[in-house]
A and B are shown apart, each in its own frame.
Chain A
């Protein structure tokens, strides 16, 4: 079984600054996928970024990038130039290559302050 841990229940950042959200996972799988989902107060879970474990290059999507350290089983999310609209709950999630069950971390509540 896989586990996903987000050690920061809450974080805050000033608008325009950079913030990093942590995520670690435990698995015996060698091939898998990792995701960050954002859930703003509007409730919809929005895919932020996805990383394939077989790719060494870190995924980026505009202001969002990840630091994927496979050996350390770490998958952190960096948000650059934070905006008020980034205020949300962020969930890290794991999915093995052999199945479609998502395992979520406990979430990090991010507040962007003006």
Chain B
């Protein structure tokens, strides 16, 4: 079963709100990722977690705060976002960080910042 789930499917928030995106996988994968995708563009990597520790942070603004409570869960906490942060946020997971480990994606959360 190659399933990654994400909640919510859609989120609308104001610039002063605090919200969280959630991602879950039950494939026993030890690496999890957050990507940001603008319309008609490829995904852009934001964060990588490996064994519940932050491995890569692609110079993402601090208004995005990732959290990995356990090996199956990955959260993205949002605060004081800007309208240009509106995008599709994709979560992915893989067995590990080896080159041979394929990334499997969730369905995404469509975020709109007003």
Contacts and interface: CB of A to CB of B under 8 A. Distances in A.
Whether A and B are associated in the same complex: the answer reads: yes
Interface of A: 31-33, 35, 37, 42-47, 50, 52, 89, 91, 95-102, 104-107, 109
Contact of B104 (A31, A47, A99, A101): A47
User: Which 7 A/B pairs are nearest by Cβ-Cβ distance?
Assistant: A104-B42, A97-B99, A45-B105, A44-B107, A100-B97, A43-B108, A91-B42
Contacts, number: 59
Contacts of B92: 45
B42 A106 contact: yes
Interface residues of B, number: 27
Interface majority SS (helix, strand, loop, mixed), chain B: loop
24 contacts: A31-B99, A33-B102, A35-B102, A37-B105, A43-B88, A43-B108, A43-B110, A44-B105, A45-B92, A45-B105, A47-B2, A47-B104, A50-B102, A89-B40, A95-B99, A97-B98, A100-B48, A100-B103, A101-B45, A101-B56, A102-B103, A104-B42, A105-B42, A106-B42
